[in-house]
Amino acid sequence: MPQRAPLLTPGAVSPRRPVPASTPRPEYVDRPRPAPHRGSHVPPAEVVERMRTACRIAAQAAAEAGRHVQPGTTTDAVDAVVHEFLLDHGAYPSTLGYRGFPKSCCTSVNEVVCHGIPDDRPLAEGDLCSVDVTAYVVLDGLGVHGDTCATFGAGELDEASALLLERARAATDRGIAAVRPGREVNVIGRVVEAAARRHGYGSVREYTGHGISTSFHSGLVIPHHDAAPAHAEVIETGMTFTVEPMITEGSPAVDLWDDGWTVVTRDRGRTAQFEHTVLVTDTGAEVLTLP
């Protein structure tokens, strides 16, 4: 089994990758913050249909990125794969220019919980790397987002890392399976946290799932821990949101790097994340972010 790599330190970040002027982009790009979401958390049918396209492209881009998560490949190179894939499929990388984020996806390695900035650090044998991709697509004048994340192993993983990856995926699936109209959104977190605790893992509290449609983040919060009685919004048929727990092999407490983005586990234990954008149906949830 490979030895675990040393703890991460910030690497060099390459210049922002260009996007053709012909590619439509969200209103928030290069602004301090996005415009507030207006309207319901249940988008109209025409928005959902366009989201299907955005979600499929995001899922395909994440899968392509995963094929490049190999020892010796830099996370910046993974970002380049995502960037080019999205542009080639008529999509804009939603993260690029969002509140100043400099890259086209988030690459979170080992103890990085989320929002890792792709840089010049090569992946090492046995690393875990989460690739979080959001695609923005404009169809017939209407722009929508699709958001997904998956964790991949670089080469051969040690047993603990392989189990963490497998169980993080299972916790996400359980959270999605808990979606039902009429339930409170905090039920999702309760189920996720229970699945994590069964194996002695933590589920990060500070970073959550979110409503998504024409806005990257609509304001609806989907917790990944037992937050009751908070987050008691009732799930409705037609809602679109993400389920994206960050599962830690130790404590779920986190710290933030000085770059203002990179979130790491406080005990520097490893973490894994999977994310899907879902549509609430009359009987449960339809996963939209499938290739």
* pLDDT, tens only, 178-204: 999 999 999 999 999 999 999 999 999
C-alpha 140: how far from chain center: 27
Note the pLDDT of residue 146.
Answer: 98
Residue 142, φ and ψ in degrees, nearest 5: -115, 120
Note the pLDDT of residue 39.
Answer: 87
Q: Supply the DSSP symbol for 100.
A: G
Percent of the chain at pLDDT > 70 equals 100
Compute CA distances 5 → 65, 112, 124, 228, 255, whole Å.
21, 13, 7, 38, 20
State the pTM of this model.
0.97
User: Rounded to an integer, what distance in angstroms lies between the CA atom of residue 152 and that of residue 200?
Assistant: 21
Structure tokens belonging to residue 170: 């299972």
Percent of the chain at pLDDT > 90 equals 98
Note the pLDDT of residue 1.
Answer: 67
Burial class (CB in 10 A: 0-12, 13-18, 19+), 11: middle
pLDDT band at 66 (very low <50, low <70, confident <90, very high): very high
- Name the residue among 106, 108, 110, 107 with its Cα closest to residue 267: 110
For the chain, state the CA radius of gyration.
18
pLDDT digits (tens, 9 = 90+) for 83-131: 999 999 999 999 999 999 999 999 999 999 999 999 999 999 999 999 9
